[in-house]
Amino acid sequence: MNVQQALQHAQQTLNPISGNAHYAARRLLGHILNQDATWLHLHPDAELAPEQHLAFQDALTRLQDGYPLAYILGEWGFYQWDFVVNEHVLVPRPETEVLVEQAVQWAQIHYPAGHFVDIGTGSGIIAVSVGLLLPQASVLALDVSPTTLAVATLNAERLKANNVQFQQSDLLAEIPPQPFDMILANLPYIDSDELQTLAVSHYEPALALDGGPAGMILIERLLKQSVDYIQAGSTIWLEIGIEQGRAVQNLAQSIFPHAQVDILHDLTNRDRVAKIVIQETPS
């Protein structure tokens, strides 16, 4: 099998399961052959070695079974950077760029050198992106899982996000009370029962997805804890599920009666981010 045949075969195989089989086929074959897209384009007749052919077929079978391409590649793009990923972390989602973009725009105006915390940092995409986009700021990145934190730490090192520090913590439980300018979080927010029915639960860590009943357990715990970590002017940015806008808005408003709470939309115009602007320091 040569490069051209391999690409055609992969594209046909992946078409029913991938939104962009053309891209996936090229990324996969490039990874197996250790070549970039230009090389693939220039060498359609290059033959795959038997072990490359085997590895390619094996990877296609795994992808057909729902295994994420990101885990096979060992990296995935988010914002303007490639992040190392493995089975210990959630694969970065483009929806999360909404949170980063909106929070960074706000911080550039209000506190470009602020003190921020990212809770449930996973591969570190939020903390590292914010740290790189706001080099004068300091970012504390937390996760309950040490294996996850190892991936996030590696990403910060590779991308030279020197203003990001990592610590293991169950939400904010291990962090002494202090005012943060921004609290950022993409916590697990899928309803436990619904998660059982979703393909995403087969390979990505349950710890990154399972938000308990109605998907609200961690969001609620964090909002309640946050009272001790804010001051007037602080903002809280939470990624939420597309059906959680109203529930999160009501919850946030009950915990922070004087806050301005808005639900922001993603590119498909669905609820995606809760933005909570604290108006006065809680007494």
Ligand X SMILES: C[S@@+](CC[C@H](N)C(=O)[O-])C[C@H]1O[C@@H](n2cnc3c(N)ncnc32)[C@H](O)[C@@H]1O
Contact 266, 272 (CB under 8 A): yes
In angstroms, the CA 188 to CA 206 distance is 9
Residue 139 found at the interface with ligand X (CB under 6 A): no
Shortest Å, Cβ 7 to ligand X:
30
**Interface with ligand X: number of residues (CB under 6 A):** 23
Identify residues 102-131 at the interface with ligand X (CB under 6 A): 119-123, 125-126
Q: Candidates 45-53, 64-72, 89-97, 175-183 — which segment interacts with ligand X by CB under 6 A?
A: 89-97
- For residue 71, the minimal CB distance to ligand X (Å) is 14
**Binding residues for ligand X restricted to 52-81, rule: CB under 6 A:** none
CB of 125 to ligand X, least distance (A): 5
Stretch that binds ligand X, among 22-30, 41-49, 143-151, 157-165 (CB under 6 A): 143-151
Taking residues 204 to 243 in sequence order and writing x for each that binds ligand X by CB under 6 A, - otherwise, the string is ---xx---------x-------------------------
- Kindly state the greatest CA–CA separation across the chain: 71
Phi, psi values for residue 209, rounded to 5° = -120, -35
**Assign residue 151 a region: left if phi > 0, alpha if psi is -120 to 50, beta otherwise?**
alpha
Considering only residues 170 through 199, tell me which ones interact with ligand X, judged by CB under 6 A: 170-171, 186-188
Q: Which two tokens stand for residue 182?
A: 């921004």
Cα–Cα distance for residue pair 110/179, rounded to 1 Å: 15
Q: Is 149 in the site for ligand X (CB under 6 A)?
A: no
CB 139 to ligand X: min, Å = 12
Whose Cβ is closer to ligand X: residue 56's or residue 76's? 76
Report, in Å, the least distance between residue 201 CB and ligand X: 13
CA distances, 110 to each of 11, 91, 105, 226, 234 (Å): 47, 30, 9, 19, 9
Nearer to ligand X, 60 or 238 (CB): 238
Residue whose token pair is 């970012």: 139
282 phi-psi bin (left φ>0, alpha ψ -120 to 50, beta other): beta
Contacts 24+ apart (CB under 8 A), 208-211: 208/89, 208/90, 208/120, 208/122, 208/148, 209/90, 211/187, 211/241
In angstroms, the CA 265 to CA 222 distance is: 21
Nearer to ligand X, 14 or 218 (CB): 218
Chosen residue from 48, 84, 131, 143 binding ligand X by CB under 6 A: 143
**Which range touches ligand X (CB under 6 A), out of 140-148, 159-167, 195-203, 246-254?**
140-148
Interaction of residue 90 with ligand X, rule CB under 6 A: yes
Identity of residue 172: L
Q: Is the dihedral of CA 73, 78, 84, 87 positive or negative?
A: negative
Piece of the chain touching ligand X by CB under 6 A; list 13-21, 29-37, 90-98, 261-269: 90-98
The DSSP letter of residue 96 is: H
- The binding site for ligand X (CB under 6 A) comprises 90, 92, 96, 119-123, 125-126, 142-145, 148, 170-171, 186-188, 207-208, 218
